[in-house]
Amino acid sequence: MIPKLQGIGLSCIRDDRLLFEQLAFEVLSGQILLLEGKNGSGKTSLLRIVCGFRQPDSGEIRWCGDAVNDSQFYAQMAYVGHLDGVKRELSVLENLKIAQSLNATGQYSINEALCKVNLAGYDDVLVQALSAGQKRRLSLARLLITANVLWILDEPFTSLDKQGIALIETLMTEHCANGGMIVLTSHHDIDLNDVDVLRINLS
């Protein structure tokens, strides 16, 4: 079955304020859905609804035509949020081994993923000794070592320099070329000319 993510009639209320209503979208294999809008417009809330971290006030999320309510969807989904989601007291290698043990193995080995995100040689370095940009690249390396079709990324370019931004754009392009799909928020103007990018503006 070809992967398909759908949002149907979604509404979200936060602090008695309607963020969006009757929102609909469809993302297919090889596509990216970019959520745009000012701070507080509901971008992160929509990501959390897609992930299942919160329920919409109306509507539903569907995966491959079925309502998201079982482990099949979560086995196909990987989320990287504002926080890097890595353990500061563990080493780079230990963090990736934990991620790999909890998911199906992806197309890259741990060493290959570290090379891909320019962290080769940092295996035994404690995460607390990394820079903010290095921690962000480590969190994204987890995507490469696990077999997740759907990447959900909340401001993935945070703390990255121009080289890091170009790197992540390359990784996203490769993921989509290999049949993956991505839903993300970003204040950065992404350069993904080879990918079908859908946009929703929540402002």
Q: What is the mean pLDDT of residues 172-198?
A: 90
pLDDT at 137 over 70: yes
Closest CA to 202 of 27, 41, 61, 44: 41
Buried b or exposed e, range 130-164, using 16+ CB within 10 angstroms? beeebbbbbbbbbbbbbebbbbbbbbbbbebeeeb
Domain residue extents for the chain: 4-201
List the single range of 72-81, 132-141, 165-174 with lowest mean pLDDT.
Answer: 72-81
pLDDT of residue 186: 87
pLDDT of residue 23: 96
Q: What is the mean pLDDT of residues 146-154?
A: 92
More confident residue, 10 or 70: 10
pLDDT at 139 over 70: yes
Give residue 1's pLDDT band: very low, low, confident or very high (50, 70, 90): low
Q: What is the mean pLDDT of residues 108-112?
A: 93
CATH number for the domain whose boundaries are 4-201: 3.40.50.300
d(CA 25, CA 17): 22
pLDDT at 128 over 70: yes
pTM of the predicted model as reported, rounded to 2 decimal places: 0.90
pLDDT digits (tens, 9 = 90+) for 39-97: 889 999 999 999 988 999 999 999 988 888 666 788 889 898 877 788 999 999 999 99
d(CA 42, CA 11): 10
Query: HSE of 7 in the Cβ direction (CA atoms, 13 Å)?
Result: 24
Give residue 114's pLDDT band: very low, low, confident or very high (50, 70, 90): very high
Q: Record the tokens describing residue 123, joined without a space.
A: 């295996």
pLDDT of residue 190: 83
pLDDT > 70: percent of the chain: 98
| Rg for the chain, CA atoms, rounded | 17
Task: Return mean pLDDT, the chain.
Answer: 90
